[in-house]
Amino acid sequence: MPENKNNLQDKSAEIAAQTDAVSIHRKKKGLSRKSDRILLVIFYVFAGVFALLCLYPFYQVLISSFADETTLIREGYKLFPSKFSLDAYRTLFASDDILYAYGITIFTTVVGTFCSLIVTAMAAYALSGNKLKYRNAVNFFFYFTMLFSGGLIPYYILIKNYLHLSNNLLVYIVPGLLNVWNMFLLRNFFNDISPSLRESAMIDGANEVTIAFRIILPLSLPGLATIGLFTSLSYWNIWMESMLYMDDSRLYTLQYLIVRMVNSISAASSAGQSGLPTGVTSVPAYTLRLATAIVTIGPIVLLYPFLQKYFVAGLRVGGVKE
């Protein structure tokens, strides 16, 4: 069953290899017709505009988070606010909430990603190649969980009543240790490493450990980086666990602070519409909201350009990831 997928992934590996050759070809392709030139201009404009639209909200939120609160309320959101202020960030970091949440989230992300990569890589390595006689059965054992699940309630009862993970930081880390899809992605990476490399190393006297650490691991670095990025993102974005299992607000994650913030704003504005007094819920100031948003995306966006080259290569070789 996953062998079919392998085919597809082999194809995309070939595609990646061809990419460079194709781009050289494309450069040579001259432009002759007028209608073709017009179409090309439209394409450039379209790509440029869409790219700018993707960037715009980030810019707007970033610049407005540095705006002066009263100026922002009076003038609305401007491309360049007339008065700047750092008050929002001062208020933000003066409260314990965000600092605790930051600590919890960073801890969860770092420890979780590290442990998850180990568990995932171990399983993926064992399932790669044709080492195991029962690998198809094991593959199915994993694959089936992608097709069918017990649903939220049994899971909730498991965490709460059987594993007793409420109010425990492990509830953020342990349930995310293995993502089956990521494991199969990594397995395909390992499969793509030529077995002859391994055999020649064996002839030269290398043992399994040497092969794993000196050959397989360096060669699958793009794969590990891709999986590592996905995993760290999913740890960074955890919030439902805070809502369901945590009673102590000092154990909340950053994203949960945001979800609570949005929900209070949404509730207040719909209450305002339906005639109830708006003052029912305390709504954070405009610039404070924006500053919170900026602070929570910071690390991921800063990491992203460095990891991008890895994961684009990783995606192409490893197969499709939605």
Partner 1 sequence: MRNEVREEQLQGISASREADAMIPQGGGSGKRNIVAWLKRTDLVKNRWSYLLLLPAIVFIVIFAYFPMVGIIIAFEDYDPIAGMFASPLIGFENFRFFFSSSDWIQVTLNTLYLNTLFIGTGTLASLLIAVVLSELRRGWFVKVSQTLMTLPNFVSWATVALFSVAFLSTDGIINNAVSAMGGSAIPFYSSPDVWPAVFVIIRIWKGAGWGAIVYMAAILGIDESIYEAAKIDGASRLRCIFSITIPLIKNIIILMFIMSIGNIFKGDFGMIYPFIGDNSLLFPTTDVIDTYVFRALRSFTNYGRTAAIGLYQSLMGFLLVLFANWLARRYAPESAIF
| Smallest gap from residue 138 Cβ to partner 1 (A) | 7
Neighbours of 95 (CB within 10 A): 12
Q: Which residue, 231 or 296, is less far from partner 1 as judged by CB?
A: 296
Q: Which residue, 64 or 220, is less far from partner 1 as judged by CB?
A: 64
Q: Are 180 and 146 in contact (CB under 8 A)?
A: yes
| Smallest gap from residue 131 Cβ to partner 1 (A) | 5
| Smallest gap from residue 221 Cβ to partner 1 (A) | 19
| Smallest gap from residue 48 Cβ to partner 1 (A) | 6
| Smallest gap from residue 82 Cβ to partner 1 (A) | 15
| Smallest gap from residue 218 Cβ to partner 1 (A) | 19
Q: Which residue, 100 or 128, is less far from partner 1 as judged by CB?
A: 128
Rounded Cα–Cα distance for residues 169 and 163 (Å): 13
- 264 Cβ partners below 8 Å, 6+ apart? 281, 282, 283, 284
Rounded Cα–Cα distance for residues 104 and 111 (Å): 11
Q: Which residue, 221 or 313, is less far from partner 1 as judged by CB?
A: 313
| Smallest gap from residue 232 Cβ to partner 1 (A) | 10
Q: Which of 302, 286, 252, 298 is nearest to 99 (CA)?
A: 252
Rounded Cα–Cα distance for residues 321 and 316 (Å): 9
Rounded Cα–Cα distance for residues 254 and 269 (Å): 23
Q: Which residue, 100 or 173, is less far from partner 1 as judged by CB?
A: 173
Q: Which residue, 131 or 282, is less far from partner 1 as judged by CB?
A: 131
Q: Which residue, 93 or 141, is less far from partner 1 as judged by CB?
A: 141
Rounded Cα–Cα distance for residues 168 and 182 (Å): 26
* ∠ CA 170-115-171, rounded to 5°: 15
Rounded Cα–Cα distance for residues 133 and 82 (Å): 69
Place of tokens 């439902």: 240
Q: Give helix then strand counts, H and E, for the chain.
A: 16, 0
| Smallest gap from residue 205 Cβ to partner 1 (A) | 17
Q: Which residue, 107 or 234, is less far from partner 1 as judged by CB?
A: 234
Q: Which string of DSSP letters, residue by residue, matches 82-139?
A: SSB--HHHHHHHHSHHHHHHHHHHHHHHHHHHHHHHHHHHHHHHHHSTT--TTHHHHH
